[in-house]
Amino acid sequence: MSQVLFDYTRQDAAGASCTAHAWAKVPEPLTPGQRQDWKARAKALLAKHKAVLVAHYYVDGDLQDLALETGGCVADSLEMARFGRDHGSQTLVVAGVRFMGETAKILSPEKRVLMPDLDATCSLDLGCPAEDFAAFCDAHPDRNVVVYANTSAAVKARADWMVTSSCALAIVQHLKDQGEKILWAPDRHLGRYVQQNTGADMLLWNGACIVHDEFKGLELDLLKAEHPDAKVLVHPESPESVVAQADLVGSTSQMLNAVVNMEARTFIVATDNGLLHRMRQMAPHKTLIEAPTAGSSATCKSCAHCPWMAMNALQGVVACLEQGSGEIAVDEPIRRQALGCIDRMLDFVKRHPGATQTTGLVPNIGAA
Ligand code: 13P
Ligand code: SF4
């Protein structure tokens, strides 16, 4: 059973979190010389502050390289959470979007968590305001509340479980096997994908990722005909018509592992194109084609890049370490409540290492 109760897919067009504001805050591209200088400054500051850089695959390639060159990580949201929690450094610089910084802070309140730009948010988080979500939960007290990582700390504080794209299927399957009914928020596409694959009784919030929502099934079908040997990798925040054509549906880490480990030479990739940076590095001889966001079924072409992820830059890393700006704070009562659903997920994936494996053509591919 699925039911749509709310529609928060429209963003606030005026606030600091609208996409126009985000694009306006994306720093100008740097020249090769400037990139070297900023990177050297960021490296020196990370060392000086004994800080570690925890980056998502969608951020600027220079930031990804910096993270790997300085002992940090580039990862999906599950791995970012685990890495930040387990790393000995007392200062984490989280390059990604706000919910990733908040998750790090919730797990490690004693650490200083900095972000290059605190305005970097996510349409899923924006589309699920805590008060409305609480009303949704209050109206369905018989349901287990499962929220996607892409939510605020206040929304997580109402949840029984947090999941990420890499473990959502396994956790919902586990709940279904225990006879639980589920209230799911906020991504409607991931919720539908999980519902269809588990048969669980789920009520779905009506949120979407503005990036993945743009991929087009019709044009993907045509593109596949041009590349009959290509394997199609799809992030589960994508629409049903796109997911239906996937050889592999998975988190960003799972998609990366597929490119590295599958024998195919050509891949069509349906996710934010920031991931292609790491894919090219790890599988330089493979051909990567971005899944279509335009064509006769589109009103316009989308760039397949998240404006909030794009706000992260070397300059922001330097600024937050030099000035102590961009520090994440989470109210202690909210933090303590939100910790429960995150810990439950982390404990589950620890006890069930297979939970992050994908199904489909590539058996046994899990989070890196
Ligand atoms: P992953 O956990 O798969 O990296 O996804 C996070 C995200 O924001 C995707 O849009
Ligand atoms: Fe949110 Fe989509 Fe951006 Fe990921 S890509 S942070 S889901 S808006």
| Three-state secondary structure of the chain | CCCECCCCCCCCCCCCCCHHHHHHHCCCCCCHHHHHHHHHHHHHHHHHCCEEEEEECCCCHHHHHHHHHCCCEEECHHHHHHHHHHCCCCEEEEECCHHHHHHHHHHCCCCEEECCCCCCCCHHHHCCCHHHHHHHHHCCCCCEEEEECCCCHHHHCCCCEEECCCCHHHHHHHHHHCCCCEEEECEHHHHHHHHHHHCCCEEECCECCCCHHHCCHHHHHHHHHHCCCCEEEECCCCCHHHHCCCCEECCHHHHHHHHHHCCCCEEEEECCCCHHHHHHHHCCCCEEEECCCCCCCCCCCCCCCCCCHHHCCHHHHHHHHHHCCCECCCCHHHHHHHHHHHHHHHHHHHHCHHHHCCCCCCCCCCCC
**How far does residue 150's CA lie from ligand 2's centre (Å)?**
8
Pocket test for ligand 2, best of 150, 165, 273 (most atoms within 8 A of CB): 150
Cα distance between residue 354 and residue 173, in whole Å: 13
Bond before 186 cis per omega within 30 degrees? yes
**How far does residue 279's CA lie from ligand 2's centre (Å)?**
19
The dihedral of CA 331, 336, 57, 194: what is its sign?
negative
Pocket test for ligand 2, best of 19, 148, 308, 311 (most atoms within 8 A of CB): 308
Which residues in the chain come in under a pLDDT of 50? Answer: 1-6, 9, 360-368
* Pocket lining: 209 vs ligand 1, CB cutoff 6 Å: yes
The pLDDT tens digits for 64-78 are 999 999 999 999 999
**How far does residue 75's CA lie from ligand 1's centre (Å)?**
9
Q: What pLDDT was estimated at residue 345? A: 98
**How far does residue 211's CA lie from ligand 2's centre (Å)?**
6
Cα distance between residue 166 and residue 120, in whole Å: 22
Pocket test for ligand 1, best of 164, 243, 278 (most atoms within 8 A of CB): 164
Look up the pTM and report it.
Answer: 0.94
Whether 212-290 and 19-123+308-332 are alike in CATH topology: the answer is: yes
Q: What pLDDT was estimated at residue 14? A: 59
Residue with token string 């400037």: 34
The first and second tokens of residue 347, run together, are: 């404990």
**Is domain 127-210+342-351 in CATH 3.40.50.10800, yes or no?**
yes
Q: What pLDDT was estimated at residue 298? A: 74
* Pocket lining: 150 vs ligand 1, CB cutoff 6 Å: yes
**How far does residue 31's CA lie from ligand 2's centre (Å)?**
27
Atom of ligand 2 nearest to the CA of 97: 6
Residue with token string 């008060």: 131
* Pocket lining: 211 vs ligand 2, CB cutoff 6 Å: yes
130: Cβ contacts below 8 Å, ≥ 6 apart: 152, 154, 155, 157, 158
Angle at 79 between CA 149 and CA 282, to 5 degrees: 125
| Level-2 CATH architecture, domain 19-123+308-332 | 3-Layer(aba) Sandwich (3.40)
Q: What pLDDT was estimated at residue 23? A: 87
Q: What pLDDT was estimated at residue 276? A: 98
The pLDDT tens digits for 332-352 are 999 999 999 999 999 999 999
Angle at 144 between CA 140 and CA 146, to 5 degrees: 110
Q: Are 11 and 207 in contact (CB under 8 A)?
A: no
Pocket test for ligand 2, best of 272, 275, 293, 312 (most atoms within 8 A of CB): 272
Q: Are 190 and 168 in contact (CB under 8 A)?
A: yes
Q: What pLDDT was estimated at residue 361? A: 41
The first and second tokens of residue 329, run together, are: 């704070």
Q: Are 67 and 95 in contact (CB under 8 A)?
A: yes
| CATH class of segment(s) 212-290 | alpha beta
Domain segments of the chain as ranges: 19-123+308-332, 127-210+342-351, 212-290
* Pocket lining: 137 vs ligand 2, CB cutoff 6 Å: no
Q: What pLDDT was estimated at residue 301? A: 78
Q: Are 295 and 219 in contact (CB under 8 A)?
A: yes
Instruction: Return the residue whose CA atom lies nearest to atom 1 of ligand 1.
Output: 76
Q: Are 156 and 106 in contact (CB under 8 A)?
A: yes
Q: What pLDDT was estimated at residue 368? A: 36
* Pocket lining: 79 vs ligand 1, CB cutoff 6 Å: no
Cα distance between residue 326 and residue 320, in whole Å: 6
The closest of 141, 184, 155, 185 to 8, measured between CA atoms, is 185
